[in-house]
Amino acid sequence: MKKKSRTISIDNYITGKLEDTELWEFKANMENDAELAREVKLRKEIYETISNSKKIELLQTLSNIKTKKQKRTFKINIYSRQIQAIAASIIVLMVIGAGLLSNQINNDLNSNIYNEYFVDEGSLITTRSDNQSDNSIVLDAIRLYDNHKYQKALELLESNPENITARLYTGLTYMKLEMYSNAEEQFNYIINHKDNIFIDQAEWNLGLSYLANDKTKEATDIFSKVANEDGAYSKRASEIIKTLENK
């Protein structure tokens, strides 16, 4: 990857501008390129520092305005266009800031729940699978998945779209690659297929994918369904619902 192209790709990744295919390829590159992963981490830290610096500058500017106002001995004409413009700008900043803060709190909560409850069950899942529906390609893909070689695993899994076990692992692989919309598609396929033994796991991981994708309402709906089914994931689904209700 050329230096200029590499820099642009890193910027697009951090700012969320990469499309699904590009995102998948970039994350695969990071997995195989430790130097690229370090560059991404460093660039994120720089952006966060710049962002914090801008916030400090804004607070300092507002503080200076307040100090100058206190030093003045004459009255400020609140009807002047300049003062009204400043006031309007401050109000807009406060409203936007409150909205961003609220969204960030919700996003952080969803992310925390996801990280707490997502458990990589790995090849243990195959103990529930139907041996007749499995084949050597899918089993090879599962071995690659267990060894964290997600890109190679995905290539094999997606070549078996009719295999329900492959569908489940495709969804789990997308979760590992943080491509949650793709994961949702796989789990919904399993749920809608109905005639298989992975529906409970598909519903559970679909809910987690919704959370990671900040689809709180959809996540709440599916976890409510799981909680009422009295299955292996019911207790954990109830815990998540309570956490979301108490936010």
- Ordered by start, the domain boundaries in the chain are 1-74, 117-245
Q: Which helix (H) or strand (E) holds 160?
A: none
pLDDT (tens digit, 9 = 90+) per residue, 79-135? 555 555 555 555 544 544 444 444 444 557 788 888 888 877 665 555 455 444 458
- Biggest alpha carbon–alpha carbon distance for the chain: 88
Over the range 97-111, which residues count as b (16 or more CB within 10 Å of their CB) and which as e? eeeeeeeeeeeebbe
Contact 21, 158 (CB under 8 A): no
The SS3 assignment for 17 reads coil
Cα separations in angstroms, 132 against 138, 167, 192, 200: 12, 15, 21, 20
Higher local confidence (pLDDT), 162 or 111: 162
> In terms of Cα–Cα distance, which of 169, 231, 241, 161 is closest to 200?
231
pLDDT (tens digit, 9 = 90+) per residue, 218-237? 999 999 999 998 888 999 99
Contact 22, 10 (CB under 8 A): no
Residue 167 has pLDDT above 60, yes or no: yes
Contact 220, 244 (CB under 8 A): yes
From the options 1.10.150.120, 1.10.10.10, 1.25.40.10, 3.30.460.10, give the CATH code of 117-245.
1.25.40.10
Higher local confidence (pLDDT), 16 or 54: 16
How high is the pLDDT of residue 36? 83
- The beta strand positions in 31-180, using DSSP E, are none
How high is the pLDDT of residue 50? 62
Mean per-residue pLDDT for 236-241? 93
- Chain centroid to Cα 243, Å, comes to 18
- AA identity, residue 24: W
Taking phi over 0 as left and psi of -120 to 50 as alpha, with beta for the rest, 70 belongs to alpha
Both tokens of residue 247?
A: 């936010």
Cα separations in angstroms, 187 against 7, 39, 132, 136, 156: 35, 34, 21, 22, 18
Contact 18, 168 (CB under 8 A): no
